Amino acid sequence: MKFWAELSARLLFRDGLKSLGLTGWISFAGLVIGVACLVVSMAVVSGFESTLQRAVSDLTGHLQVLKPQGVSDSDGDLHAKLQQLEPDTVASTRVLWVESVAAAKGKISGALLQGLDPERWQQVLALDRRVIAGHFDLGSEGGIARAMIGKGLAKKFELQPGDTFRVVVPLANDYDPNTFKRKVATFRVAGILDLGKYEFDERLIVSSMAAVQEVSGVGTRYSGLLVRLKDYTKARESAGRLSLAMGPGFRVRDWHELNENIFEAIKIERVVLFFVILIIVLAAAFNVASSLYISVIQRYPDIGIFKAIGMSPRDLIKVFSFQGLILGLAGCLTGFALGGVLGLAFMLGQNLFTLLPGSVYKLDHIDLVFRFWDLFAIFSVTMIICGLATLAPARQGARLSAVEGLRYE
């Protein structure tokens, strides 16, 4: 194998860089660009999926166990019950969601209050690593509860850590069910969060469970539990088991279900993008093959000598097929390097310009993820295409007779 590869390389680059000619190098550049586009596109799609998954699980955990309204703390320890029913549970924490209206500096906006258990939320969520201003603090100061807000909400209200804002919660009127009464509470901004998802950044206010329970008038009730699992990829299976075991009224949702349409679209787009951009690689590979075909014609004297010393047609096919594989390997490796450079440029561009409008793509920033299996698939398909594309020139060279080849010498 080593002998054939070395012989093919020497024959291919016998005249140095001039061996392929201008057309051949242009075709090779097309192969490199095609591979680089495949690498970057797969990294962007994988990064989008990974970034969205982290944004959801950092805020809502791997599972959400929503309990019926009639179930309270006195009805049993849901934490212990959950641990017993699902052994893969690492930790869980109580959560309370309340729809509200936030107001500050003459502006109002719809907001979602999320109350967390100060003693347990860090075991499940990773909100503290998403702080971009201030510090994470769900305590109180001078009777005013502290809160963390999304960066979109902070920008809309022009709020900074230390500023105060009001939250209005509509409550049912005990005397007239057709009307509502309101309850107003003041919160102090402890910090600003980059939650990674547009809707979260624009609407979310995170505070302590007690503060949200007080402003919403629900007493000691809460919405349910946020759960962290040992393996987030098995969240759907765990959700299915818990849905059956928790009993009627309970609803269990996994992180995938919360954005199922987007995640399913990503799976389809990954396949479509791969095959669409693969056309570039396919065209470039056959252009390289056409350059090798010309190279075969220029190597008639060499082929005649090889046959005169006893080289069989099968051996000649190996020689010229290896030439295609050498070019394919060089194109793949160069394409991987160029893809890495383009990926770095994309990451820098995100920091300087708004490449992904959050209102359209749900995320305004993504981290590129170069997955091994994506790179392996690109490498394998490219090498197969290059190998198949060079069979025609290889067979053409193998059919040449020794006498016909030496005629040109």
Q: What is the 3-state secondary structure (H, E, C) of 258-321?
A: HCHHHHHHHHHHHHHHHHHHHHHHHHHHHHHHHHHHHHHHHCHHHHHHHHHCCCCHHHHHHHHH
- Is 44 within 8 Å of 358 (Cβ atoms)? no
Please enumerate in sequence order all residues whose Cβ is within 8 A of that of 203, keeping only pairs 6 or more positions apart, or say none: 109, 110, 111, 112, 150, 152, 153
**CA–CA separation, 164 vs 144, rounded Å?**
9
C-alpha 310/C-alpha 334 separation (Å) is 36
- Hey, what are 49's tokens? 């999926």
- Give pLDDT tens digits for 271-284: 888 888 888 888 88
Q: What is the pLDDT of residue 112?
A: 93
Rounded to the nearest 5°, which phi and psi values hold at 216? -95, -10
Rg (CA), the chain: 31
Q: pLDDT class for 300, splitting at 50, 70, 90?
A: low
Q: What's the rounded Cα separation, in Å, for the pair 405 and 91?
A: 76
Q: What's the sign of the alpha-carbon dihedral 200, 204, 206, 212?
A: negative
- Helices 372-389, 260-298: axis angle to 10 degrees equals 30
Alpha-carbon distances of 167 from 89, 111, 114, 175, 199, rounded to whole Å: 34, 8, 12, 24, 18
Residue 54 pLDDT greater than 90, yes or no: no
> What whole-number distance in Å separates Cα of residue 350 and Cα of residue 65?
36
Residue 355 backbone phi and psi in degrees, to 5: -80, -30
* Separation of alpha carbons 323 and 32, rounded Å: 16
Mean pLDDT computed over every residue of the chain? 81
At residue 224, φ and ψ (nearest 5 deg) are: 165, -155
pTM: 0.77
Angle between the N-to-C axes of helices 313-352 and 300-308, in degrees from 0 to 180, rounded to the nearest 10: 140
pLDDT tier at 12 (50, 70, 90 boundaries)? Answer: low
pLDDT in tens, 355-392: 676 666 667 778 888 989 889 988 888 888 877 777 76
| Closest among 275, 276, 286, 274 to 27, alpha carbons compared | 286
- H or E segment and range at residue 51: helix 21-60
